[in-house]
Amino acid sequence: MTFKPLYVVQEWSARCFAGCEGCFRTFVDGPFDGDMTDEIFEAANTGIPPGTMILPQFHGDSMNHKNFEHYIERMKELQLRVSIPVSGFVGKKYIPMLVAEDTPVYVYIVSMDGYCYHSYQTRRGKIPLEQASDFVYEAIEARGTRSKPWIAVRWVEGGQSEIEFEMFVKHWLFDIGVDFVLRSRLFNYGSKYNSPTSVALPQICRSLTDGNPVVLFNGDVLLCERVNDRSKYVIGNVLHDTWPQIMDRRAELTKGYPNNESCALCSAAYVLSGSKGAMQFRHGDDRIVYVHSDHSQTYYSLNKDWSGINWSLT
């Protein structure tokens, strides 16, 4: 099978010390104590087409890796784009590199999950609100007048009020000037913040048609990033298998979607298409925020024509 992925998730480090309450680590078995070796890193990126988006995340914080800066430089050399998720716990020293004019970083997303201090602190564990906010402020200041990389904040649903979410959107879009707010849901993973399991899978999942495999720190490749079992759906290892071999196994395992076993517990298929509209605020606030919703997440922006992250350049 030809390997032209939508994006590839790479777990540069499985270590994270943030202790967020809704994190996968609270209900998924590890191990969570390893870092990717340089050999595995190079093997994971061999055969990936230039322009592909790499997401260095999964169950750890990539900035914990001692070679994080070198890996970002390698992304540039390999002509790969990067979407960086930021927990706000480590890595502040990397901000100038991540937002530099020649950065391979396409979008820089800081997880916030709350506007009010108590609401935020309940969900974000050991990361003070001020510390996470500073990541955004300093990134915007360091980027200056350039338009890239995009700088965004993420809100993961976890029982917060809709009034608080309105305050969150107003603050980050109008007061601070992030490029967009990303609102995500948790699906069927065992967290107390799960969304209802009755959400139906769409007939087409871009995760399967275009591919978004996960490379764990030990080189094992998982079916996709929505798999919460780090051992059940291993479809290869980058040290021993080529990407076409891995994707052939993936196609066999997902045959019959959406009724196949491996996808039965997932409600978070990627469609990357959906509805567009505008957000209406309460209390006479007539400012407009444009909304783009796909199957599992919603983007809020001040750009009427913006339609979400361009994962693929083709």
Look up residue 300 and give its two tokens: 């809020």
Kindly give, in sequence order, each residue whose CB lies less than 8 Å from that of residue 237, ignoring residues fewer than 6 positions away.
218, 219, 220, 221
Look up residue 231 and give its two tokens: 């051992």
- Cα separation of 174 and 149, whole Å? 19
Question: Which domains does the chain carry?
Answer: 7-301 (3.20.20.70)
Q: Is the pLDDT of residue 33 over 60?
A: yes
- Cα separation of 112 and 88, whole Å? 9
Q: 207 or 182: which carries more pLDDT confidence?
A: 182
Q: Contact at 8 Å (CB) between 245 and 38?
A: no
Query: Of 83-97, 147-161, 220-234, which has the strongest mean pLDDT?
Result: 147-161
- pLDDT for position 294: 66
The pLDDT confidence band at residue 269, using thresholds 50, 70 and 90, is low
Tokens 């990407």 — which residue? 243
Q: Is the pLDDT of residue 161 over 90?
A: no
Tokens 């996808």 — which residue? 263
Kindly give, in sequence order, each residue whose CB lies less than 8 Å from that of residue 59, ignoring residues fewer than 6 positions away.
11, 14, 16, 24, 25, 28, 30, 32, 230
Kindly give, in sequence order, each residue whose CB lies less than 8 Å from that of residue 264, ignoring residues fewer than 6 positions away.
none
- pLDDT for position 188: 47
Calculate mean pLDDT across residues 4-13: 88
H/E stretch holding 193 reads: none
Q: 197 or 173: which carries more pLDDT confidence?
A: 173
Calculate mean pLDDT across residues 37-53: 94
Calculate mean pLDDT across residues 27-48: 90
- The predicted model scores a pTM of 0.87
